Amino acid sequence: MTSNPRVARLEKIIGEENIQLLAQKCVLVLGCGGVGGYVVESLARSGIGKLIIVDFDTVDETNINRQIIALTSTIGRKKVDVLEKRIKEINPKCIVIKNSNFITEDNFDELFKEKIDYFVDACDTMTVKKLVIKKCIEKDIPFISSMGTGNKLDPTKLDIVDIRKTINDPLAKILRKYVKEEHINKKVMVCSSFELPVKTSTRTPGSSAFVPSSAGILIGSYIVRQMIEKL
């Protein structure tokens, strides 16, 4: 039995050996907003040993409807700073590495300074999402990408699938085309909703508390299950 009561209930499900395994793993989460914040939350509560959190942004009042780190008290603060504090409150033993740079093609390679066991793409930049696929396949790093959660209301329509099986997801459509054009034969696993997006009159997508958070938790669950199944 683990000596850490914070993960004792999880140990009842996955066993002590897997708890020890998770404590040795490092996960990088690129984008700590509506989806990424909940990925980090679920992994921190599962006893992951090292989390690399990457986000250039600060908490805005408009984030409050969907982001776990967004509160009246955190408005204006760097997301990685707020999230680091939250991780440490949950799992003080977790090693947290923060990166508050805006990630582009020019500095993308800096994300790979540490040994990464899993890469989570929860960012909004299409160029970077393509780079994640290319680089993680090249380096043989397991990864998963979050697709669009904007303008959607029903979390039960989320699923984790290969990019080629996505539907009703405008963002995934662009990446499907990229994967085909680049002749990528390996699976590209994504969290995507097959719900038809709600049509709005503005370019800025609407959002809910339900879909981004559920996507983040689904991704966290998927990563943990992938890690312990490979033991």
Q: In the structure, what pLDDT confidence band is assigned to residue 3 with cuts at 50, 70 and 90?
A: confident
| Element housing 222 (H / E) | helix 211-229
Maximum C-alpha span of the chain: 55
Residue range 81-90, pLDDT digits in tens: 999 999 999 9
In this predicted structure, the answer to whether residue 2 has a pLDDT above a threshold of 70 is no
pLDDT (mean) for 106-110: 97
DSSP string, 209-221: SSHHHHHHHHHHH
Helices and strands (DSSP H and E) totals, the chain: 7, 7
Mutual orientation of helices 79-90 and 36-45 as an angle, nearest 10°?
20
In this predicted structure, the answer to whether residue 50 has a pLDDT above a threshold of 90 is yes
What does the alpha-carbon distance between residue 190 and residue 193 come to, in Å, rounded to a whole number?
10
Q: Tokens 């039995």 identify what position? A: 1
What does the alpha-carbon distance between residue 221 and residue 18 come to, in Å, rounded to a whole number?
14
Q: In the structure, what pLDDT confidence band is assigned to residue 128 with cuts at 50, 70 and 90?
A: very high
In this predicted structure, the answer to whether residue 193 has a pLDDT above a threshold of 60 is yes
Is residue 112 within 8 A of residue 139, CB to CB? The reply is yes
- Structural domain count, the chain: 1
- Nearest-CA neighbor of 220 among 160, 167, 170, 164? 160
Domain housing 113: 5-229
Q: Give residue 99's pLDDT.
A: 98
State the Rg of the chain over Cα: 17
Residue range 6-45, pLDDT digits in tens: 999 999 999 999 999 999 999 999 999 999 999 999 999 9
pLDDT (mean) for 73-87: 98
66 by Cβ neighbours in 10 Å (0-12 / 13-18 / 19+) ranks as: buried
Q: Which two tokens stand for residue 196?
A: 């038809």
**pTM score:** 0.96
Q: Which CATH number is 126's domain given?
A: 3.40.50.720
Q: Give residue 58's pLDDT.
A: 98
User: What mean pLDDT is reported for the chain?
Assistant: 96
Q: In the structure, what pLDDT confidence band is assigned to residue 202 with cuts at 50, 70 and 90?
A: confident
